[in-house]
Amino acid sequence: MKKKSALIHAWLAAFVGAVLLGASLVASAGAANAAAPPWAINVTLTPGRVGGSGTVTFSTQTLYRQTFSDPQCATQTQTAPDGTLSVSFSNLTWTNAVIRYSPPLSQWPSKTSTATDPTVTTCATAGGTLVPATATVTQTVATWSVDYSCRNAGDLIIAEYTNNPYLNTGNSAAIWGGSPMPLKVPDNGPPPATCPAVALSSSSGAPGSSLTITGTGYTPSSTASVTFDSTVVGSPTVGADGTFTVNTVVPTYPIGASHRVGVTSPGVASLTVPFTAEPSFTLAQAMDAKAAVWGLGAATSAVTSIRYAGYYRNYQFGAVIAVNDENLFVSRGAIRSEWAATGFENGLLAYPTTDEIGGLRNGGVYQNYQEGAIIWSPASGAHESYGPIRSEWQATGFENGVLGYPTSEVLDGMEYEVSYQNYQGGTIVSSPELNGAHATFGPIRSEWQATGLQHGPLSWPLTEVVTGLRNGGSYQGFIFGAIVSSPASGTHESYGPIRSKWAATNFESGPLGYPTTEVVKGILNGGSYQNYQGGAIVSSPASGTHESIGAIRGEWQATGFEGGLLGYPTTDEVGGLRSGGVYQNYQGGAIIWSPVSGAHESYGPIRAAWQSTGFESGRLGYPTSEVYSVPNGTAQNFQGGKITVINGTTTVS
Could you tell me which residue, 542 or 52, shows the higher pLDDT?
542
Q: CA-based Rg of the chain, rounded to a whole angstrom?
A: 39
What's the whole-number mean pLDDT along residues 595-611?
A: 97
Residue 257, pLDDT score = 84
Residue 231, pLDDT score = 82
Residue 17, pLDDT score = 30
> How many residues make up the chain in this entry?
653
Residue 3, pLDDT score = 30
Residue 19, pLDDT score = 30
The neighbour count for residue 165, using CB atoms within 10 Å, is 20
CB 326 within 8 A of CB 255: yes
% of the chain beyond a pLDDT of 70: 93
How many Å apart are CA 367 and CA 373, to the nearest integer?
Answer: 6
What confidence category does residue 472 fall into, taking pLDDT thresholds of 50, 70 and 90?
Answer: very high
Strands (E), 387-451: 419-423, 426-431, 436-441
The mean pLDDT value of the chain amounts to 90
CB 302 within 8 A of CB 322: no
Residue 36, pLDDT score = 54
**Residue 635: which residues within 8 A CB-CB, separation 6 or more?**
606, 627, 628, 629, 642, 643, 644, 645
Q: Kindly report, residue by residue over 287-312, the tens digit of the pLDDT.
A: 999 999 899 999 999 999 998 889 99
How many Å apart are CA 112 and CA 122, to the nearest integer?
Answer: 25
CB 425 within 8 A of CB 403: yes
What confidence category does residue 230 fall into, taking pLDDT thresholds of 50, 70 and 90?
Answer: confident
Start-to-end CA distance of the chain, whole Å, equals: 107
Residue 459, pLDDT score = 96
CB 378 within 8 A of CB 348: no
What's the whole-number mean pLDDT along residues 585-598?
A: 98
Strands (E), 468-524: 474-478, 481-486, 490-495, 520-523
Could you tell me which residue, 622 or 283, shows the higher pLDDT?
622
Strands (E), 202-300: 204-205, 210-216, 225-228, 231-234, 244-249, 258-265, 268-277
Residue 270, pLDDT > 80, answer no
Q: Of 203-212, 295-304, 571-580, give the lowest mean pLDDT range.
A: 203-212
What's the whole-number mean pLDDT along residues 105-134?
A: 92
Residue 269, pLDDT score = 67
Say how many CA atoms lie within 13 Å of 542 toward its Cβ: 12
Residue 605, pLDDT score = 97
* 8-state DSSP, 237: B
% of the chain beyond a pLDDT of 90: 73
Residue 645, pLDDT score = 98
What confidence category does residue 5 fall into, taking pLDDT thresholds of 50, 70 and 90?
Answer: very low
Residue 587, pLDDT > 60, answer yes
